[in-house]
Amino acid sequence: MSYAGLIEVTGRVNDFLNAGSVLSWDARTMMPKAGAGSRSKQLATLAVAARNLLCSDEMKRELDGAEAEVSGTASDSPEARIVAQVREAIDYHERIPTELLRRKTELGAAAHEVWAEAREKADFSLFAPALTTMVDINREMAQAIGFEEHPYDALMYRFEPGTTTAGLKTLFARLREGMIPLVRAIADAEKPHSDFLFRDYPVDAQMQFALKMAKRIGYDTDRGRLDTTVHPFEVSFTRNDVRITTRVATDYMPMSLFGALHEAGHAMYEQGVDPAYTRTPLATDLISLYAVGGVSFGAHESQSRLWENHVGRSRAFWANHMGDIKAAYPGILDDVTDEEFYRAVNRSEPSFIRVEADELTYDFHIMLRAELEAKMVDGSLEVADLPEAWNAAMKEYLGVDVPDDAQGVLQDVHWSSGQIGTFCNYTIGNIMAAQLFDTATSENPGIQTALDGADYAPLRNWLTDKVAQHGRRYTRDELLENATGRALDPEPYIAHLTRKFTDIYALS
Ligand code: ZN
């Protein structure tokens, strides 16, 4: 019946979620394949336990007491925010009927196999019935959760609270206006050489170099570790145990390096959360039920993209570290200059596959998905017409003809598991990354000077101060306004891409 009691019970919710994260990390790095069946049941049990404890009578009693106790404190105090967030999370989860959740989980398990077969045969019609049911379930979810304007808003709420379909429409239109001319100009321009990125790079050397560079930018390995996986991810079990993964291809080295820098960016966010918030709702996402300190999926992505693209793919970075990478791969890069390397890792080319897309073309893959999802959810696009709509958008945005459904509409796993509404966070992350980097370097010229001299501490400290330390105390937009003086603004991102690619491709 008190704030202290609320912290105790929410701490146990955090424990359930962190235990799930450990099992999930293990499943994606160490577990033998045969463990998958039992592991998915174990994870589901922990997720249900966390949800049930969150919505329990015990929690509600403590919440009532806590609300009375903190009623006099400032509305943005950590205590007031914790109480408000627990109330909001209970309300959110109680609106979704457990029977609907069960149907979604069951269909997700079955639909995954159907999707895998359809993708193998490059035949969307095999997956269409399952996707139709999945879209219907998501529409029911949207109705249950509630929304003001568009049912898709309700689905995005779980990942990127405050984002609306109408807001995305304006944002995407501006991005397209700024970026399509660049994509078109580059299609006709001469590409930088990049053949040396595809030489034979030993696996062990790649892992050592990836870890070395992650540490170099500030990832704390006393509170983390790097492992290999198929789809790289970062996961935190508290700010004192934040792990990253990367993937290694012997014939394409940038994957391991930039994967590690990206995940290190995510990890530094979690490692930088105020220690006082450990095990509290300010380091626990009670809506999406992940034990993370990041305030939204997009905010999280902003930190990974910032370190990967604005630092790791910068000219200064390679002017400083070309010697390091040559030493890591003796004899392999002797004929390559730092400028050639910088240009090669920024090569841009329209492609069909999202996960292989470069910095300039990536957002088109996201816009396309978010727009099609919104139309399926509001019923203006029939699932049967999805491949045609997909291929038309790829042609319009990137100028490419999709050869088949496997390289088009069937490429992502998300829809098979029923995840609709997650894609926008990647583009929001890119926009936030540029906005934060622009403010950091323009208001503090010393930060850029330090980067030019391979000193990453001033930028890291600024990001910890403005973003990471706050955990989930502020909303994404409050965080952005406090840090940069304004809400989400695509202009610094468009300016960054224009500057960088105009220079690399010698466009006029
Ligand atoms: Zn990421």
| pLDDT in the model for residue 108 | 84
| pLDDT in the model for residue 346 | 97
Q: How far apart are CA 352 and CA 501, in angstroms?
A: 20
- Active-site choice (263, 270, 308, 371): 263
- Whether pLDDT at 409 is above 90: yes
Cα(112) to ligand 1 centroid in Å equals 23
| pLDDT in the model for residue 253 | 97
Cα(427) to ligand 1 centroid in Å equals 11
Cα(31) to ligand 1 centroid in Å equals 23
- Whether pLDDT at 508 is above 90: no
- Whether pLDDT at 109 is above 90: no
Domains and CATH numbers, the chain: 3-120 (no CATH), 171-350+423-504 (1.10.1370.30)
- List pLDDT tens digits, range 286-298: 999 999 999 999 9
φ, ψ (nearest 5 deg) of residue 350: -60, 135
| pLDDT in the model for residue 426 | 97
pLDDT band (50, 70, 90) for residue 469 = very high
Q: Which of 492, 489, 179, 188 is nearest to 360 (CA)?
A: 179
Beta bridge partners of 235: 243
Q: How far apart are CA 389 and CA 298, in angstroms?
A: 26
DSSP tag of 82: H
Q: Which of 152, 232, 499 is nearest to 360 (CA)?
A: 499
Cα(305) to ligand 1 centroid in Å equals 7
| pLDDT in the model for residue 127 | 97
Surrounding residues of ion ligand 1, Cβ less than 5 A: 304
- Establish how many alpha carbons lie within 13 A of residue 348's alpha carbon, considering only the half-sphere containing its beta carbon: 26
Letter for the amino acid at 86? V
- Establish how many alpha carbons lie within 13 A of residue 183's alpha carbon, considering only the half-sphere containing its beta carbon: 25
| pLDDT in the model for residue 34 | 92
Note if 62 is an active site residue. Answer: no
Question: What average pLDDT does the segment 309-321 reach?
Answer: 98
- List pLDDT tens digits, range 40-83: 889 989 999 999 999 999 999 999 999 999 999 999 999 999 99
Cα(163) to ligand 1 centroid in Å equals 19
Tokens of 313: 């793919």
| pLDDT in the model for residue 36 | 86
Q: Residue 472: exposed, middle, or buried by beta-carbon count in 10 A (0-12, 13-18, 19+)? A: buried
Cα(306) to ligand 1 centroid in Å equals 10
Cα(234) to ligand 1 centroid in Å equals 8
| pLDDT in the model for residue 106 | 86
pLDDT band (50, 70, 90) for residue 385 = very high
Question: What average pLDDT does the segment 158-172 reach?
Answer: 96
| pLDDT in the model for residue 37 | 85
φ, ψ (nearest 5 deg) of residue 400: -115, 150
